């Protein structure tokens, strides 16, 4: 994704109130991020760790969503909905995000299982050992990156459709 600054990040949020927007703690290390290796930016509020934020490019515009970690709806070992094809080295937790507009004001949310520390971009870029002779591990990685971007895009679009 394209590099973001603090003010772009803060103004990108679409499912927050004015008060919530002012309270967002934007990461201080944005200038050091490897943006070309990120499909979305994700972080937690240091003072209130169940509160999380993600920003992604949607049609070339940064769009931010506030999420809240919630109780998992299932008891099975969860799999991240966004980087689903890899053997995950990290925890996966359930997040709920308020919808935009009047649906959100009425308490309508969308939920998804996500890597607890937003490691999806790193996970899909890990090169696995070849599964068989002639297996193109780089092409497989590129397909995982594409799939992750499609999942991110789909989630944002779903949430912004009232």
Tell me the torsion sign for CA atoms 158, 110, 108, 61: negative
| Residue at token pair 């930016």 | 41
Q: Which is nearer to Zn ion, 93 or 115 (CB)?
A: 115
Please select the residue that binds Zn ion; options are 55, 83, 86, 93, rule is CB under 5 A.
83
Report how far Cα 95 is from the mean position of its chain's Cα atoms: 10
86 binds Zn ion (CB under 5 A): no
Separation in Å, CA 153 to CA 13, 71, 146: 15, 24, 11
Stretch that binds Zn ion, among 19-27, 52-60, 68-76, 83-91 (CB under 5 A): 83-91
Site string for Zn ion, 31-70 (x = CB under 5 A): ----------------------------------------
119 to 148, contacts with Zn ion by CB under 5 A? 120
**CA pair distance 67, 148, nearest whole angstrom:** 18
Helices marked H in the chain — which ranges? 6-11, 18-23, 101-105, 120-125, 137-160
Please select the residue that binds Zn ion; options are 16, 63, 110, 115, rule is CB under 5 A.
115
In the complex, which residues of this chain contact Zn ion (CB under 5 A)? Answer: 80, 82-83, 115, 120
């Amino acid at each position: 994704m394209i590099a973001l600054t603090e003010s772009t990040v803060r103004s990108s949020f679409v499912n927050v109130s004015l008060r919530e927007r002012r309270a967002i703690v934007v990461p201080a290390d944005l200038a050091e991020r490897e943006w070309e290796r990120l499909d979305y930016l994700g972080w937690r509020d240091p003072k209130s760790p169940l509160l999380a934020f993600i920003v992604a490019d949607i049609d070339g515009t940064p769009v931010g969503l506030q999420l809240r970690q919630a109780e998992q709806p299932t008891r099975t070992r969860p799999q991240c909905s966004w980087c689903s094809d890899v053997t995950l080295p990290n925890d996966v937790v359930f997040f709920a995000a308020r919808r935009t507009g009047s649906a959100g004001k009425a308490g309508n949310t969308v939920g998804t299982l996500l890597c607890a520390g937003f490691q999806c971009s790193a996970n899909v870029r890990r090169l696995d050992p070849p599964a068989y002779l002639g297996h193109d591990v780089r092409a497989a990685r590129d397909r995982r990156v594409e799939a992750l971007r499609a999942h991110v895009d789909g989630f944002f679009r779903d949430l912004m459709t009232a």
